[in-house]
């Protein structure tokens, strides 16, 4: 009669032993341990570079240090957005330029703003006038888009096709503003993509 009792006791200890083993193993491996161990045992071969972001530096004619790229969240906000709007619309955030491309972009922006300033002072906000001014700088007519921006302004988008890829901006009675960027994460040109992930 003692045999059945011992079998029952052993079967009852099985779940307890499994629980103890599982609990003892939990939390001993940190996230990234496997990847770190792999990198240590498989270093990057010589001659193969890993991707990196180009360092920003002060460009010619720039008086201050480069500013950090803006983020989609509110400045000072440490909590992630609860509605995931920024996350879901990240595909519409332009790719910032870095290194020499950033300097080339600042040069293009300055050149474009200087060419449009006489039109702004005259109050000429016709998209055709802006297009003519931009194509006179050497940009291909097929790569320059101009459009009415609000009631008293004009917007423009130039697909440069080289570094920097794109320049976008507006001209109104109060100012001319342009920005150079490297396209969009999910796009193939200067137009914002219509859909994301």
Q: Structural domain boundaries of the chain?
A: 90-181
Q: Read off the pTM.
A: 0.60
Query: What HEC string does the chain produce?
Result: CHHHHHHHHHHHHHHHHHHHHHHHHCCCCCCCHHHHHHHHHCCCCCCCCCCCCCCCCCCCCCCCCCCCCCCCCCCCCCCCCCCCHHHHCHHHCCCCCCHHHHHHHHHHHHHHHHHHHHHHHHCCCCHHHHHHHHHCCCCCHHHEEEEECCCCEEEEEEECCCCCCEEEEEEECCCEEEEEECCCCCCCCCCCCCCCC
Q: Residue 123: what pLDDT?
A: 94
Q: Residue 69: what pLDDT?
A: 45
Q: Residue 172: what pLDDT?
A: 94
Per-residue pLDDT tens digits for 121-146: 999 999 999 999 999 999 999 999 99
Asked whether 164 and 97 are in contact (CB, 8 A), the reply is yes
Q: Residue 78: what pLDDT?
A: 55
| Residue position matching structure tokens 């910032």 | 96
Backbone angles phi, psi at 101, to 5 degrees: -60, -40
Q: Residue 140: what pLDDT?
A: 93
Q: Residue 149: what pLDDT?
A: 85
The ranges of the chain with pLDDT < 50 are 20-22, 26, 28-51, 68-76
């Amino acid at each position: 009669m003692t045999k059945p009792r011992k079998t029952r006791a052993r079967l009852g200890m099985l779940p307890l032993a499994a629980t103890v083993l599982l609990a003892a193993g939990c939390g001993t491996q940190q996230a990234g341990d496997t990847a770190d161990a792999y990198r240590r045992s498989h270093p990057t071969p010589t001659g193969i570079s890993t991707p990196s972001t180009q360092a920003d530096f002060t460009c010619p004619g720039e008086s201050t240090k480069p500013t950090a790229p803006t983020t989609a969240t509110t400045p000072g906000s440490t909590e992630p957005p609860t509605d995931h709007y920024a996350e879901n619309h990240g595909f519409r955030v332009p790719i910032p330029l870095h290194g020499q491309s950033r300097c080339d972009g600042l040069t293009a922006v300055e050149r474009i703003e200087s060419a449009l300033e006489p039109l702004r002072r005259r109050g000429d906000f016709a998209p055709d006038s802006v297009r003519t001014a931009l194509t006179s700088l050497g940009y291909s007519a097929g790569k320059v888009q101009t459009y009415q921006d609000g009631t008293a302004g004009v917007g423009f988008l130039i697909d440069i096709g080289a570094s920097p890829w794109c320049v976008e901006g507006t001209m109104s009675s109060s100012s001319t503003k342009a920005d150079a960027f490297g396209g969009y994460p999910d796009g193939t040109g200067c137009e914002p993509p219509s859909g994301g992930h």
